[in-house]
Each structure stands twice: as C-alpha cells, then as structure tokens.
Structure 1
Amino acid sequence: MSVITEVRIRPDDFELGQILGLEQASVIELETLVPSGDVTVPLFWVYEPVEKGFLEAVERYPTVNAVTEVDVFDDRTLIRLDWDASQDHLFQCILEHDGQILSASGSSGGWNFEIRFSDREALSQCQTCCEDAHISLEVTRIYNPTDPEAGPWYGLSEPQREALTLAIRRGYYDIPRGCTTAELADELGISDQAVTERLRRAIGTFGRYALLTPE
C-alpha cells in the first residue's frame, strides 16, 4: 500500500536547490513536471519580480540547457527549466525507487517535498540512497492516504484546513465571491500571497487524497 512522505531538505544538499538560488526570490514552487522526449522538464513559479540576473545565473549552471519565462505577472513568474536531472542525486534516488513528486517548494530556509512511494520499503530504500549521497532528509510526516489512522482531514495540514474552511465559510468560492484573499489574509494574520498559496496547496492536497486513491 502506498505511503506519502513530507521531507525538508537544505538547498545546498541537492543540485536543483543549488541551481535555483533564492537570493532574488521569496519562494519557488513546483507547478508541474512536463514530459519532454526522454526527460521530464519542471515548471516553477518564482515569487517576487524576477530580476534578469536570476535567470542568467540559472542558465550559467553547467547542467542547465535552457531556462525560459513562460508567464510573467507582477508578483510571480512561471519558468520552464530544461536541465540534466541525471546529475542530481536527490532526483535519481527518488526515481530509482519509483517515487512520485506530488509537490515541492523552496525558500531561503530549505525545500519541502511531498513524495509518494509504492510502500514503506521503497521509502526506506530511497532514504538510504540519499544518505549514501550525503543528502540530509528531515522527514516531517509519513502517512497512508487511504489509512483511517492518517486522520479525517485528507492530508490537510492545520493551516491549510483553517484557510480552506474560512474561505468556504466567507463565501470565497461562491459566485459572486463573498470575500477577497486580502480579507482572508487580514483574518488569518498572513499575507495575501500566503493565503493564495495556502488555498492552492489545500485544494491540491484534498483532491489527491479524496479522489486519487492508489490502485
């Protein structure tokens, strides 16, 4: 039976963390992994206006073939990163043990990954692989998405459940909307951007655990 783990990793411990330096961005968040030939190309949201120097620094990295701006907004930019993941020991350990990256986000304090494995043995083997590659994984949570002992909230963290519950109660998802993210932010005591990110992750998490049960 599959298990999902949430891990935290220092940026310097894996190559992608080194490539996507966070000196000029508050948060980097994985949007999706897009197949491209024999490789999988990630799309990332980079929050805060992206300076030209950020993209140039990324493109200069030896394993990066190209970095492209896909969509540009005032507060965030979607970038496409074409790179050689075979040199990243973290990604290789995940792939070798049939792990699936469900979400990933990075800040100056570290990267958070949510990864699904076929069973606990595959997870354990991936951890050993990372240890051998001198990658320090801080496992913050392990659970089974269909196990009743995982709790009644479909994998939602307490902050995610709080934000999503408030948004529903205040009519944020009604037509027309009953409130704005700025109003939710004021009530939660966080930024408008943080509310948007938290609601998006909450909906994605709920959808995966409520609808996409393993075979």
Structure 2
Amino acid sequence: MPIPQSSPKVGRSLLRDDVYARLRDAIVDGTFSPGETLRDGDLAEWLGVSRTPVREALLRLAASGLIVARPGRSTVVAEMEEDAVRHARDIVAAMHGLAARLAVPLITASVIERMRQANAAFAAAVESGDADSAIRADDDFHGALVEASGNPSIAMVLGQFEPVVRRAEFLRFVSIDRFAARERHDALIALCAAGDAEGAARLAFDTWQTLPVAVPGQLPV
C-alpha cells in the first residue's frame, strides 16, 4: 500500500515514541502490508517530521520483528511467520499472567471499574465488527492490570513483543472467537474482584495462549 496522502501532519515537537507508535500501528493494522518497502524520506514527509526520529523508530521496529532492515539495500515490512508469532505470544502470555499475579493484591475499585468499561467497549466493537476499536479496548482492559502490577519491566517487555501478536490478531480478526474473549474478560474481572491472584494469573495466561498464530492467506491454519 502506498504511503497515505491524506493523513494529517503531526506537530514538529512529536516525540520519538510517538513516531514509533504511529509507524507500529500502521504495520499492525495493515496500512503497510507485509513485504512493502518503507523509505525513511517518505515516512518523514507523511508524518511531518525529520528523518532522524523515523530512522530511530525503524530500528526499534526491526528489534520487535515488525520490519526487516537490510543495510545499504532496503527496509521492508516483515512477512508474518508462524514461529515468530508463536514465540511472541508465549512471552506476552507469560507477562500478562505475571501482571495479574502482582496486580490482584494491589487492586483497587477504580482498576476494576476501568476493566469493566474496557470490556463493555470491547463487546460493542465486536458486535459492530470494528477490529481497530476492539483491539484498542482489549489493550486497555489488559493494560489496567499491567499498570496496577507496579512493575514497569512488564510493560517494557510487552512493548517489544505484543505488536507482533496484535498484528496477527488484527489480520484474522474475523476468525477469532471474540465472544469467548468477552466472557473470559468477565471471568478475569470476577477473579480480580475476589482477590484470587493465582486464578487471575492462570486465566490471563490462558487468554493470550488461546490466540491462534496462523494468518489466513499467508500461513496454513
């Protein structure tokens, strides 16, 4: 897919993290397709920034496995590989399980309410078939426990590996059992409210492990 022509420019004060987030999300949601060549000049023009933060973002994306950088040749969006998705999923599942185990003893009513609201938004997005909104709501739901865990290292690890999982999830949104995911969210909320840290950790881990790793049209299902 060509660089979008209609995207609004972002402010010159855009932080490096914001440039990274914009490019990461464009890969995750399919704006930039697997195998597509990314040129830092084109990306800088699209975002309205200099090439420096774009180049830094591309290095981070390469470390996450979302792009393949070939020095002196080209930078392309990585193809989806089943093993890479599976490995990332295993790490993400372990981190979310740990987050739940740490968060439950510290859980507050406001965290529980945030999870309920996020799950309601997730359910509404699922009903309407809005993959982008559903995944954002799911991020918010699980992010509540990550933040409540009090361990910033969990978020750092997830920041590297979760985009790979989300990309696969986004590409096969229609085939994921999203209604079961909503029910698992409800069960996780109940375990957190009851103070069952081990039960919440197991369910959080299992929830991520249920995500399929194959991508229709690219990988065998």
In the superposition, the TM-score normalised over structure 2's length comes to 0.25
Which structure has greater helix proportion?
2
In the superposition, the TM-score normalised over structure 1's length comes to 0.25
Which structure has greater strand proportion?
1
